[in-house]
Chains A and B, each alone.
Chain A
Amino acid sequence: MKKIEAIVRHFKLEDVKNALTEKGIVGMTVSEVRGFGRQKGHTEIYRGSEYAIDFVPKVKIEVICKDDDLDSVVNTIVESAKTGRIGDGKVFVSDIVNVIRIRTGESDEAAL
C-alpha cells in the first residue's frame, strides 16, 4: 500500500476530491497547512507596516491506496490540481506498512 500526500492550492481541493471519488477512492484526510517552496511567500501591509509572509497557506490531502492504483491516483491528483503557475504544490509518495480499521479490527488492504 502507498500513502500519497498532496500539497495543493485551496481552491483546487474540491476538484481533486471529485476527481478522486470518480476513480473509486473512498477515503481521504485533509488538513490546512503552511509552508513554502519555490513560490516563496507574499507581503501584507497593515497601516504602512509591511510584513513578509513566508509560509503560504495550502491544503494537504492524504490518500492511502493499493500499490496497483498508485499511478492512476497520482495522475488524477496532478491533473486536477494543476493550474500551470508557480505554487501548484507537490505530491509525495511513501510506503504504508499496515492499516487497521478500528471498528472491526480488519487489517491490510481489507481495511482500506
Chain B
Amino acid sequence: MRYVRKFGLFFLLMSVFHSLWLAPPVSAQEAAVKASEPEVIAPTIEQRLAGLEAYIGNGDPTAKNEKGEPAAGVTTATMGIAGPGHNAWLMISTALVLFMTLPGLALFYGGLVRKKNVLSVVAQCFGCAGLVTILWVICGYSIVFGEHPADGPTNPFPWLIGDMKHLFMNGVTSAPDTGYCYWISENVFAMFQMMFAIITPALIVGAIAERMKYSAIMLFILLWMFVVYFPLAHMVWGFDGLMNGVWNGGASIRAIDFAGGTVVHMSSGWSALVLCLLLGPRKGFGKTAMPPHSMVMCSIGTGMLWVGWYGFNAGSALAADGIAANAFTTTTIAAAVASFIWPLIEYIRNGKPSILGFCSGAVAGLVVVTPACGFITVQGALIIGVAAGVVPYLFCTVVKKIFKYDDALDTFGVHAAGGTLGALMTGFLATPSVNANLVGSYAKANGLDKVLENRTLWIEQLKAMGLTIALSVVATLVITGLVSVLVGLRPTAENEDVGLDLSEHGEAGYEFY
C-alpha cells in the first residue's frame, strides 16, 4: 500500500507540471482530417451492411475482409462516427447521473441535516461538481481512461494510471474511442464518466456533515481524487486496469464491477468512515437531539437519486443494448424490494415504518445492486434487494449504536456496507447468461471465464474489495492529516453552533419575514 500512496503523491506533482507547461492546443481539426481522408477502396455492400449490423448489435463497425481481418483502406459510413441511438442514451444517462448529485443528493442530504446546515450540504455538492470537472478536464480523464499505445505503456504503472495523451481533453472529440465503446462519442463518454467522479466525493460529505470547514472539505476532495478515485477508477474500468476482469485480458485480479460498487460506493464509504472518526462527532452528539429538519426534502431527493440511478447503472452498459435493459430491470427490482424490506424491519421492531426507512432502503438497494446490475438475473436482483434491506439497516442502527461513531447521514452504513455487500454478492450471482462479455475474448485471456465456471469469482471480488478498502483507508488517513495541518478540519465551536450556512456561506436556508 505504501507503494500506491507514494505513487499517488508523485503523480500529483507530475500532473501539476503537466498542467503548467504542457497545455497542448485542443485540435478541432482531428475529426475533420479523419473525414477528409481519401477513400482508397470503395466498401462492398457486405461491408456496408456489416457496419450497420454492428450498430444494431453494439459491435465493431470496422470493415473486414473475407478472412475476418480489418480491411486496409476501406472505410464505411458507420466507421468513426457515433451511433445515434447509443449516443442518445448515453447523453441522457450523463444528465441523469448529474441529476443524482444536483439536486438529488443535495436534497437527500440537505433534508437530513438540521435547518442551520442545509445550505452547507448544497454548497458541498455544487463544490464537488465544479472542482471535479476542472480536475477531470485537466488530467483526470487521461489518468483514468488514457489508453497506453500498443507498442508499450508510457509510464511504469499502466495497471494503476493511464496514458497522459488526453490532458486538457486533448483529442477527445465526438468520434468514438473504440477502445472503450464502438458507438458512443468520446466526449460524451468522458462527460458520463465525469459524473461518476463528481458524485463519489459528494457521497463522503454525508458522514462529515454539519462539522467540517468548507475549505478543508474542498482541499480533502482535491487530494482524494488524485490518490484514491482516479487510480481506482483506472484499475477497475481502465483498459489496462489491474482489476478490470471484463475488459483487460491481462488483469491480474479478475474482478468485475458493472457500475461502481468498488470505485464509487466502497471508496467513498470507507473513506467517509475514516474521515468521520478523525474529525470526531458533531458538537453535542448523543446529548442533544439532531433529527432531520425536512423528511419531505429527503424523500424528494431519494426519488431523484432513484431516477438518476437508471443512468448510473443502465447507462454503464455504454450502449442502448440488452445488457443495459437487464441492468435497468435488476436495478428497479433491487431498489423496490429493499425500499420495502427496510421499513418492514422497522415495523416489526418499533411498530412504525418510517419515511427515512423507505428512503434508506431504496438507496441501499440501489447501492448494493450497482456492481451487479449488468451481470445478474431478475432472481439475483430479488436476493440482492432483500440483503440490501437487511445488512445496511443493521449497520445504520445496530453497529453504529455499538461503536458510537457520528456517521451523520450514514455514508458508511449505506455506501460502504452496501457497496461491500454488493461487490461480494456480485461474485456469487454474476452469470454469463445475461452478459456474454463475462466469457468474451478478454475474459478468456485473463481466465475470468474459468473463474466463473469454478464458482470462485467471489475470491477475486474479495481481492478487489481488500485493495479498495486498503487504498481508501490509508489514503484518507494521510490526506486528512495533511489537510489538518494545512487549513485545519473543523470550524470554531461558535461557528458550529451558529450553523455552517451562516458561518461558512453567509446565507440562511430559510428566511422568514
B 318-347 to A, binary, CB cutoff 8 A, 1 in contact else 0 = 000000000000000000000000000010
- B401–A46 contact, CB under 8 A? no
- Cβ-based interface call for B75 (8 A): no
Closest A residue to B394 by CB, please name it.
A48
- A53–B289 contact, CB under 8 A? yes
- B354–A45 contact, CB under 8 A? yes
Instruction: Choose from A46, A51, A52, A53 the contact partner of B356 (Cβ within 8 Å).
Output: A46
Q: Which residues of A contact B (CB under 8 A)?
A: 44-49, 51-53
- Cβ-based interface call for B36 (8 A): no
Complex interface: chain B residues within 8 A of A49 (CB): 401
- B398–A45 contact, CB under 8 A? no
Report the interface size class on chain B: 10 to 19
- A46–B292 contact, CB under 8 A? yes
- B396–A44 contact, CB under 8 A? no
Instruction: Choose from B352, B401, B410 the contact partner of A45 (Cβ within 8 Å).
Output: B352
Complex interface: chain B residues within 8 A of A46 (CB): 291-292, 354, 356
Measured in the bound complex, the distance between the Cα atoms of B356 and A66 in whole Å is 50
B282 → chain A closest CB, angstroms: 12
Closest A residue to B342 by CB, please name it.
A47
Closest A residue to B295 by CB, please name it.
A46
The A interface is mostly helix, strand or loop, or mixed, namely strand
- Cβ-based interface call for B350 (8 A): yes
- Cβ-based interface call for B360 (8 A): yes
A49 → chain B closest CB, angstroms: 8
Complex interface: chain A residues within 8 A of B360 (CB): 47
- Cβ-based interface call for B27 (8 A): no
Measured in the bound complex, the distance between the Cα atoms of B396 and A46 in whole Å is 10
Q: Which residues of B contact A (CB under 8 A)?
A: 289-292, 346, 350, 352, 354, 356-357, 360, 396-398, 400-401, 410, 413
List 7 A-B pairs, minimum CB-CB distance, nearest first: A48-B397, A51-B289, A47-B396, A51-B291, A46-B356, A46-B291, A44-B291
- B289–A48 contact, CB under 8 A? no
Complex interface: chain B residues within 8 A of A51 (CB): 289-291
B299 → chain A closest CB, angstroms: 13
Closest B residue to A48 by CB, please name it.
B397
Complex interface: chain B residues within 8 A of A47 (CB): 356-357, 360, 396-397, 410, 413
A93 → chain B closest CB, angstroms: 29
Complex interface: chain A residues within 8 A of B292 (CB): 46
Closest B residue to A44 by CB, please name it.
B291
Complex interface: chain A residues within 8 A of B398 (CB): 48
Measured in the bound complex, the distance between the Cα atoms of B354 and A48 in whole Å is 10
Measured in the bound complex, the distance between the Cα atoms of B112 and A47 in whole Å is 11
Closest A residue to B398 by CB, please name it.
A48
B400 → chain A closest CB, angstroms: 7
Measured in the bound complex, the distance between the Cα atoms of B356 and A46 in whole Å is 7
B142 → chain A closest CB, angstroms: 40
- B397–A52 contact, CB under 8 A? no
- B350–A45 contact, CB under 8 A? yes
Complex interface: chain B residues within 8 A of A53 (CB): 289, 291
Measured in the bound complex, the distance between the Cα atoms of B392 and A47 in whole Å is 11
Measured in the bound complex, the distance between the Cα atoms of B357 and A44 in whole Å is 13
Complex interface: chain A residues within 8 A of B410 (CB): 47
7 inter-chain pairs at a CB distance below 8 angstroms, sorted by A residue, are A45-B352, A45-B354, A47-B357, A47-B360, A47-B413, A48-B401, A51-B291
Measured in the bound complex, the distance between the Cα atoms of B378 and A79 in whole Å is 60
Closest B residue to A47 by CB, please name it.
B396
B395 → chain A closest CB, angstroms: 10
B285 → chain A closest CB, angstroms: 10
B411 → chain A closest CB, angstroms: 12
Measured in the bound complex, the distance between the Cα atoms of B356 and A45 in whole Å is 9
B363 → chain A closest CB, angstroms: 12
Measured in the bound complex, the distance between the Cα atoms of B291 and A53 in whole Å is 10
